[in-house]
Chains A and B, each alone.
Chain A
Amino acid sequence: MAMVNIKIEGVPYQVEAGITILEAAKRCGYEIPTLCAFNNGECSRASCRVCLVEATGARGLVASCVYPVAEGMEIKISSPKAVAARRASVELILSNHNRNCQECDKNEKCELLHVARVTGAREGIYEGEQTPVTIDRLTPTITRDTSKCVLCGRCVERCKAAHGIGILGFENRGFKTVVAPAENRSFINSPCIMCGQCINVCPTGALMEASEIDRVDAAMAAGKYVIVQTAPAVRAALGEEFGMKIGTPVTGKMVAALRRLGFQKVFDTNFAADLTIMEEATELLTRVKTGGVLPMITSCSPGWINFAEYFYPDQLSHLSTCKSPHEMFGAILKSFYAEKIGVDPKDMFVVSIMPCSCKKYEKGRPEMECNGLRDVDAVLTTRELGRMIKRAGIRFDRLPDEDYDNDIVHDYTGAGVIFGVTGGVMEAALRTAYYVLTGKEREGIIFKEVRGFEQIREAEFDLAGIKVKVAVTSGMKGAKILLDQIREGKSPYTFIEVMGCPGGCINGGGQPYVREAFLPNEDADIMETYKQKRANALYSEDERQTLRQSHNNPQIKALYDEFLGEPNSHKAHELLHTHYNPNRQRFDD
Chain B
Amino acid sequence: MARLSEAAVKQIKEICDRYKDENTPLMMILSDVQNEYGYIPLEVQEVVSEKTGIPVAEIYGVVTFYSFFSLKPKGKYVIGCCLGTACYVKGAQQIVDKFSEILGIKPGETTEDGLFTLDALRCIGACSIAPAVSINGRVFPKMTLDSVVKIVDDYRAGVYA
Chain A interface (Cβ < 8 Å from any Cβ of B) = 156, 160, 164-173, 180-183, 585-589
Contact = CB atoms under 8 A, between A and B. Distances in A.
Nearest to B54: A166
B42 interface: yes
A182 B45 contact: yes
A587 B1 CA distance: 7
A171 B64 contact: yes
Contacts of B55: 160, 165-167, 169
Interface string B15-56: 000000000000000000000000000100110000001111
B18 to A, nearest CB: 23
User: Main SS of the interface on chain B?
Assistant: helix
Contacts of B57: 156, 166-169, 171, 180-182
Nearest to A170: B61
21 contacts: A160-B55, A164-B53, A166-B54, A166-B56, A166-B57, A166-B58, A167-B57, A169-B56, A169-B57, A169-B58, A171-B57, A171-B60, A171-B61, A173-B64, A173-B65, A180-B57, A182-B45, A182-B56, A587-B56, A588-B1, A589-B1
Nearest to B45: A182
Contacts of B1: 585, 587-589
Most chain B CB neighbours (cut-off 10 Å) among A156, A165, A171, A181: A171
A49 B161 CA distance: 53
B50 to A, nearest CB: 10
B24 to A, nearest CB: 16
A180 B56 CA distance: 11
Contacts of B59: 182
Nearest to A160: B55
Most chain A CB neighbours (cut-off 10 Å) among B53, B59, B60: B60
A169 B65 contact: no
B60 to A, nearest CB: 4
Nearest to B43: A587
Contacts of B56: 166, 169, 182, 587
Given A166-B58, A170-B61, 6 more contacts: A156-B57, A164-B53, A169-B60, A171-B60, A182-B60, A588-B1
Contacts of B53: 164
A183 B44 CA distance: 13
Interface residues of B, number: 15
Contacts of A168: 57
Nearest to B60: A182
Contacts of B42: 182-183, 587
Contacts of A167: 55, 57
What are the nearest 7 A-B pairs in CB distance? A166-B55, A169-B57, A182-B60, A169-B61, A182-B56, A170-B61, A182-B57
Given A166-B58, A167-B55, A172 B46 contact: no
A585 B1 CA distance: 9
A170 B54 CA distance: 14
Contacts of A588: 1
B13 to A, nearest CB: 18
Nearest to B67: A173
Contacts of B60: 169, 171, 182-183
A294 to B, nearest CB: 27
B111 to A, nearest CB: 24
A168 B46 CA distance: 14
Contacts of A586: 46
A164 B49 CA distance: 12
Most chain B CB neighbours (cut-off 10 Å) among A156, A160, A169, A180: A169
Nearest to A163: B55
Contacts of B65: 170, 172-173
Interface in B44-88: 45-46, 53-61, 64-65
A164 B64 CA distance: 22
Most chain B CB neighbours (cut-off 10 Å) among A167, A181, A182, A587: A182
B34 to A, nearest CB: 17
Contacts of B58: 166, 169
A110 B58 CA distance: 27
Nearest to B71: A183
Contacts of A173: 64-65
Contacts of A182: 42, 45, 56-57, 59-60
Nearest to B62: A169
Contacts of A171: 57, 60-61, 64
A160 B64 CA distance: 20
Interface string B96-125: 000000000000000000000000000000
Contacts of A164: 53
A493 to B, nearest CB: 24
Nearest to B53: A164
A137 to B, nearest CB: 20
Contacts of A585: 1
A587 B64 contact: no
